Amino acid sequence: MCLIDKASAQTVFSENDPRVTLHTKLANEEHYSYIMENPRENSCFGIKHNSILNTLAYFSVSDNFVFDLVHDILEGVAQYEVKLLFEYLNRNFISNENILQRVYAFNYGFMDKNNRPMRINMFCTGHSIGLNASQTLCLIRNLPLIFGDVVPEGDRHWHLLIILLHIINIVFSPCIREGMTVFLKHLIVDHHRLFKDLYPQNNLIPKHHFMIHYPECIRKIGPLLHVWSMRCKAKHKFFKSSIKNFKNVTKSLAKKHQIAVAYHWESLSTKGIESGPVKTKIPTDVENGDLILEHFQIDLLSETNVTTIMVLNITQVLWFAQILFMKCQCSARLLASF
Ligand SMILES: [Zn+2]
């Protein structure tokens, strides 16, 4: 992303700082040619070799970058700062045992009951407290409710947490206005500056530095929530837990996955899809209605509603639901793909 060195990263809190040199397309080309001439110095610019994607006419890797909220925030910055906050609370207000008691006994509600932190390890090596990404998000969002009563008003360590929560609220939003990215930039500057004030002996980790590039990244590619690795991790979890033999790993995984998908579709209840009163439409009143009728083999003169169709079969239901969501304006092209 940029060419900043480790020492400067401790004092640079904004992309606008003159010490930040961004990877541009031109600079990247210079770096590529330098590495081609001096292959041993491939650690100078954070580049090991040219990317094949750069051969595309309208694409450059230096202009298309992305950050992962799971690794940067949930498994990095958030756990690090919660750990430091717990140490601060333990030194000044309540014991470690009380901290854990409060965290475990808190009612996280129906939606978050599966993500509640089950086991916190305050003495983990490194910056982690031994939680996974979902548990960290659940814990940090509820921290103000869990410990709000023990911290005095105006506490700066508490203020650091509140700023981080503001940042989390923005970067985890599925929809962000451009003005909000400017606000985010200032929040990140305030947050990093306060962190260094409160913990001068602790370093900002590289993931803290990545955060200063978030506003520009969001302006270029949109909210980072849409590209986080949570979905990939969730999908990957099945493969990690299901492998038991190692003779032909890819075949075993493919087979087990197909079996799991078949079971999922077979056991999916149509009742779960049905929903309250629905609009009744005469298919002939709908654009391209004749094609829908032909596909679902529905009587021309009958009134048809979603719940009647739903008992047909699951594949048809999904297609039909999609058609309804599109307000029955589906094109012949879509139907032709059936
Ligand atoms: Zn950077």
pLDDT digits (tens, 9 = 90+) for 233-258: 888 888 888 777 788 889 989 999 99
* Whether residue 217 is found in the same domain as residue 135: yes
Number of domains in the chain: 3
- Domain boundary, last residue among 241, 266, 291: 266
Residue 134: inside a domain: yes
* Mean residue pLDDT across the chain: 81
Measure Cα distances from 170 to 128, 163, 179, 255, 281 in Å. Answer: 23, 11, 11, 41, 41
**209 C-alpha to center of ligand 1: Å?**
6
* Whether residue 222 is found in the same domain as residue 249: no
**207 C-alpha to center of ligand 1: Å?**
10
Residue 280 in tokens: 């009744």
Asked whether residue 266 carries a pLDDT value surpassing 70, the answer given is yes
**158 C-alpha to center of ligand 1: Å?**
27
Partnered with residue 22 across adjacent β-strands are 2
Residue 7 in tokens: 């020492």
Residue 170: inside a domain: yes
Asked whether residue 334 carries a pLDDT value surpassing 70, the answer given is no
> What is the pLDDT, as a whole number, of residue 295?
75
Three-class SS state of 26: helix
Asked whether residue 338 carries a pLDDT value surpassing 70, the answer given is no
**213 C-alpha to center of ligand 1: Å?**
7
Cα gap 276→323, rounded to integer Å: 18
**297 C-alpha to center of ligand 1: Å?**
59
* Whether residue 170 is found in the same domain as residue 293: no
Q: Which of 73, 67, 228, 89 is nearest to 155 (CA)?
A: 89
Highest mean pLDDT among 12-16, 173-177, 316-320: 173-177
Asked whether residue 287 carries a pLDDT value surpassing 80, the answer given is no
* Whether residue 289 is found in the same domain as residue 141: no
**156 C-alpha to center of ligand 1: Å?**
27
Highest mean pLDDT among 245-259, 265-279, 296-310: 245-259
Range of the domain at 244: 230-266
The residues near 288 (Cβ < 8 Å, ≥ 6 apart) are 328, 329, 330, 331, 332, 335
Q: Percentage helix, strand, coil, to 5, in the chain?
A: 60, 0, 40
Partnered with residue 281 across adjacent β-strands are 304
> What is the pLDDT, as a whole number, of residue 279?
66
- What average pLDDT score do residues 10-24 get? 84
* Whether residue 87 is found in the same domain as residue 197: yes
> What is the pLDDT, as a whole number, of residue 328?
39
**1 C-alpha to center of ligand 1: Å?**
5
> What is the pLDDT, as a whole number, of residue 283?
67
* Whether residue 126 is found in the same domain as residue 178: yes
Residue 46: inside a domain: no
* Whether residue 200 is found in the same domain as residue 321: no
**2 C-alpha to center of ligand 1: Å?**
4
First-residue to last-residue Cα distance in the chain: 44
Asked whether residue 316 carries a pLDDT value surpassing 80, the answer given is no
> What is the pLDDT, as a whole number, of residue 271?
59
**217 C-alpha to center of ligand 1: Å?**
11
* Whether residue 143 is found in the same domain as residue 181: yes
* Whether residue 305 is found in the same domain as residue 331: yes
- Domain boundary, last residue among 266, 293, 324: 266
Measure Cα distances from 166 to 33, 133, 140, 224 in Å. Answer: 42, 18, 11, 15
